[in-house]
Structure 1
Amino acid sequence: MTDTLEKKQTLQLLADQNLFVFSDNVSELAREASRDCHAFATRNANKRHHPRRAVDAWFNDYLDTMGASGWTRLKYEVRKITEVGSYVEMSNLFYQGLQTAYGAATGDIKQSLKDLGGAIIDALKDREVLKLLDTRSIKDDRVSISLCKCVESANGEVVMLVCALQNDEIPTKKGETLLGKWEHRGSITYACGATLSFSRRSYGAVRDLIEKGLDADARKVLAERVLP
Structure 2
Amino acid sequence: MTHSYEEVTFQEFTLFIKIYSKQLEENINIYLNLEPSISESDRKRTTLLLDSFILLLTNIDIEDINEADGGYLDTWLQSQLSIIDVRSFNLFQLIFEKSLITFMIQQKHSRMNGILMYLLSMFTYLVQSYNKYEEEHKTKSKSHVSLELKNLLLLDQLNKLLIRCSGYQDLAFILKKCEEYFRYKRCVFYAYVPWSNQFYGVIGAELSKVQSMKGQLTEQHLVFGSKKPIYLKDPKIM
**TM-score (norm. length: structure 2):** 0.22
Task: Select the structure that is richer in helix.
Answer: 2
**TM-score (norm. length: structure 1):** 0.22
